[in-house]
Every structure is written in C-alpha cells, then in structure tokens.
A and B are shown apart, each in its own frame.
Chain A
Amino acid sequence: GIQVEQSPPDLILQEGANSTLRCNFSDSVNNLQWFHQNPWGQLINLFYIPSGTKQNGRLSATTVATERYSLLYISSSQTTDSGVYFCAVGTNAGKSTFGDGTTLTVKP
C-alpha cells in the first residue's frame, strides 16, 4: 500500500515563529488532507488539498502531486497551535492513509 512519511516527527517553537511541515507519499493520489489533532483527540480538518495552494489565516498548504509531497506552513505560531498534525492521502473515495504525524509544541 501507499506509504506516507511526515517530517519532522517533533518540532518545538517559540510563540511567533514560523514553521513548515512536510508530507511525502509513495504513489499517486487525488485526495489529500491536513488535520490538527487537538488535546481532546479530535481531528480538525485544516485543508483538503490534492493539488495547488490554499490559505486560511495563518495557515497555508501546498501540494505538488507530480512530485508526491505536500507542505503545511504555520506562520506566527501561537500556543494553541500545539498538537499533532497529520497528513492523510488516498485515491477517489477510497480509504485515507495517515502519516505518523508531526508533534508541534509552541512555547510562550
């Protein structure tokens, strides 16, 4: 099956710093989502981005499907951005395969 690698596995930032999270995948996909898992375990959908670039406030994401990677940018990080960020990929309406996640800690 498809392999999903996320990097870095852990990231510690000071409040206000910027960061880039990466998701590499091993095969062609046409579904890709970024999630933030909050401290209560809920998966919060950040972006549905199988290709191209999207922005939502301080967050933006870019997927280059032909090169099999996606990037999540967080600017001016806040303590509330802490948590685990997952990339999930798939094809058509099939299952999503999740990466291992990046654990982000933002310190005040």
Chain B
Amino acid sequence: EPEVTQTPSHQVTQMGQEVILRCVPISNHLYFYWYRQILGQKVEFLVSFYNNEISEKSEIFDDQFSVERPDGSNFTLKIRSTKLEDSAMYFCASRLQVLETQYFGPGTRLLVL
C-alpha cells in the first residue's frame, strides 16, 4: 500500500540553525499538509499546499517557516532559525481528493538545543 515517507526520523539541532524536513507524499496525491505535535499535546495544523501554492496557514506558521515542492515528488518544510519551542514531532500528510482520507507520514522528531 502506498505511504507517505519522511526523513530524517530524528533530528537534533542547535538553536538558531536552519533545518529542512523532507516528505514524499503518495505519488498521485494533490493536497499536502504539515502538522506538528509538541510532546504530550495535541496535533496542530501548520500549513496546507495545493497547486504549487500555500492554501492555508496557521498563526504558528510565521516568517521563519517555508514550504516547497521542488520537484513534483518531495515536499519540504524549512525552519530558518530554530527556537527551543520548535522542538516537536512534525508530520507530513497528503490527500488525493477533497473528501478523502488524509494519510500521515511517520513524523520527524525535532529537538532544538
């Protein structure tokens, strides 16, 4: 069964450093998402992406964050200058059509020191 993949599974970085989290959505899907989950809390929406542009973003998704779909298969989340509070599990998700299941990747656990 097709699945969403994410790399790396874990990343440790120093505060102020840039990180890029990578996702490969399911190949024919059209809608892409990033979510995050701070340890012990619920999953929060960051951004959605469709037709090569951001369709919606949350208040969390400030100027430090950006997303790209550089080559038609990868979908990346960049954090320009990480903060301690960016430490979380980041999930990528994709969906084929409007009223269908959203498939989640296994997540990248980011630790900012």
Contact = CB atoms under 8 A, between A and B. Distances in A.
Given A88-B43, A99-B42, A93 B106 contact: no
A53 interface: no
Contacts of B95: 93
- Counting contact residues on chain B (CB < 8 A from A), the size range is 20 to 34
Contacts of B43: 43, 86, 88, 98
A97 interface: yes
A48 B91 contact: no
Contacts of A42: 104, 106-107
- Counting contact residues on chain A (CB < 8 A from B), the size range is 20 to 34
Interface string A83-108: 00010100011111111110000000
B85 to A, nearest CB: 18
A93 B79 CA distance: 25
Given A43-B91, A101-B42, A93 B104 contact: no
A92 B100 CA distance: 9
B44 A33 contact: no
A30 interface: yes
Given A33-B102, A95-B33, 12 more contacts: A31-B99, A41-B89, A41-B106, A43-B43, A45-B103, A45-B104, A86-B42, A88-B102, A93-B31, A96-B33, A99-B42, A101-B42
Interface in B26-51: 31, 33, 35, 37, 42-45, 48, 50
Interface of A: 30-31, 33, 35, 40-43, 45, 48, 50, 86, 88, 92-101
Nearest to A30: B99
A48 B109 contact: no
Nearest to B45: A95
B101 A45 contact: yes
A36 to B, nearest CB: 11
Contacts of A94: 48, 55-56
- Most A CB contacts (10 A, CB to CB) among B48, B102, B109 go to B102
Nearest to B58: A95
Given A41-B89, A95-B33, A31 B102 contact: yes
